[in-house]
Amino acid sequence: MLKLTLCVLLVLGATAINVQSSIWTNRDQKALAEIHTSGWGKFILNYAELHMQTGGILSELNSEIEKLVGELEEELAGVHHEFNRRTDVHNREVSRLEQEIQDKEREIFNAHDFYDNVLIPQRDRFANQLEQLKENIAQNRQTLEQATVQRANDHETFEAQVVEHNDVLSAIDECLQLLNTLEAPSLVQIKKVQKNLNKIQNSLKKHSQFQIFVKVLLEITVESNFADQGALRDIVVAFNNLRVEMVDSLNQITADEAEAVADFNAQVIQLNQEHAEFQRAVVVKNAEIEANATKIEQTLDLIDELDADLATLNGQLQAENDDYAFATDVYNATVAEYNKEINAANQALELLNQPRFQDYVKSQLKGA
């Protein structure tokens, strides 16, 4: 600033211009009053009065004041430049923060979408699949248990049938042995044959196709008493045929039992294989459930982190806007003050170049 220290001393030592002097017009008095509201305007008038009272040349005074105004305008230009630079920084910072906020909001949306539409449905699906696997395992074991019980029951029935068939064959063989030795059978022998036939009939209660045949044999033995050798031969043939039928039946149930055993063993192997597959699937599914739970936890942590980052960015944006708003207020107040001082300085410069100001200074010198 133009010899600031000297100027301050001059201002402090200068005598204030009497704005009520009759030399001034109403317009001049109004301008002087306005000038006196400005520190620089008041200083210029007082400095001009002092300068002229001490013999200074007006042109030198004008040059000094013009330099002063120039310095004020240069300082004001600097204020404009600094504020424009601050505005550029502000705009870049706001643009950066708004972009980062937009990116962060997109990340938060994607994280929520992944959590809501991928992880949670996946968790529920895995839980349902695990429950289904457990049901499959329970059903598999139940089927094996039922098949095992049924196999035991069927085998018990088979063994009973084997005993039954063997008893019948033994009775048939005994009858044939007796019949082959009969020529004139005694009543005791006939009764023994009939007893064996009754035994055979009781043994074949579950085989209706054989019961009818045995019943006929009983009727024949009762009616003939084996007196007719031709009838006796027919009975022997009938017993032999019955024996063949019983052997075939025994062979068939034995074959059926073997087939049932093979089917059961195959079913057991299949059920155990399915059970092993279900168990492996449970292990895999539990691993998937654990991985899903870990991913859910990580995603929730990420959402919390992103929310915190977003809050920080919004805080930074608000702080930047508040700081810029404060800088703007300071800038506007500074510019207004500079414009006031420059305007007052120009008015003072205009006034001191008027003849009335010079007349006022001369009148003050004469009065002294």
Asked whether the predicted pLDDT for residue 104 surpasses 60, the reply is yes
pLDDT bin (cut points 50, 70, 90) of residue 204 is: low
Asked whether the predicted pLDDT for residue 5 surpasses 90, the reply is no
pLDDT > 70: percent of the chain: 65
Give pLDDT, residue 354: 67
Give pLDDT, residue 236: 79
- Burial (0-12, 13-18, 19+ Cβ within 10 Å), 214: buried
pLDDT bin (cut points 50, 70, 90) of residue 340 is: confident
pLDDT bin (cut points 50, 70, 90) of residue 215 is: low
Rounded distance between C-alpha atoms, residue 193 and residue 96, angstroms: 117
Do residues 274 and 140 make contact, with C-beta atoms less than 8 angstroms apart?
Answer: yes
Asked whether the predicted pLDDT for residue 151 surpasses 60, the reply is yes
Give pLDDT, residue 368: 46
pLDDT bin (cut points 50, 70, 90) of residue 331 is: very high
* Residue pointed to by tokens 């033995």: 221
Q: Pick the more confident residue, 10 or 213.
A: 213
Please give the radius of gyration of the chain, using alpha carbons only, rounded to the nearest integer. Answer: 64
Mean pLDDT of 132-143: 97
* Residue pointed to by tokens 């895995």: 126
Asked whether the predicted pLDDT for residue 187 surpasses 90, the reply is no
Summarize pLDDT for 16-58 with one digit per residue, the tens: 444 444 444 555 555 555 555 655 555 555 655 555 554 555 5
- The model scores a pTM over 0.75: no
Average pLDDT, the chain: 79
pLDDT > 90: percent of the chain: 48
Mean pLDDT of 281-296: 97
Q: Pick the more confident residue, 291 or 45.
A: 291
Asked whether the predicted pLDDT for residue 265 surpasses 70, the reply is yes
Asked whether the predicted pLDDT for residue 169 surpasses 70, the reply is yes
Nearest to 61 by CA among 288, 301, 342, 357: 357
Nearest to 294 by CA among 305, 302, 284, 282: 302
DSSP per-residue codes, 87-98: HHHHHHHHHHHH
Asked whether the predicted pLDDT for residue 273 surpasses 80, the reply is yes
Asked whether the predicted pLDDT for residue 188 surpasses 90, the reply is no
pLDDT bin (cut points 50, 70, 90) of residue 131 is: very high
Mean pLDDT of 177-201: 67
Give pLDDT, residue 41: 54
Q: Which of 239-243, 295-299, 359-363 has the highest mean pLDDT?
A: 295-299
Mean pLDDT of 87-92: 97
Asked whether the predicted pLDDT for residue 303 surpasses 90, the reply is yes
Nearest to 189 by CA among 147, 225, 152, 142: 225
Nearest-10 crossing angle of helices 355-367, 39-53 = 60
User: What is the residue type of 208?
Assistant: S
Q: What DSSP state is assigned to residue 260?
A: H
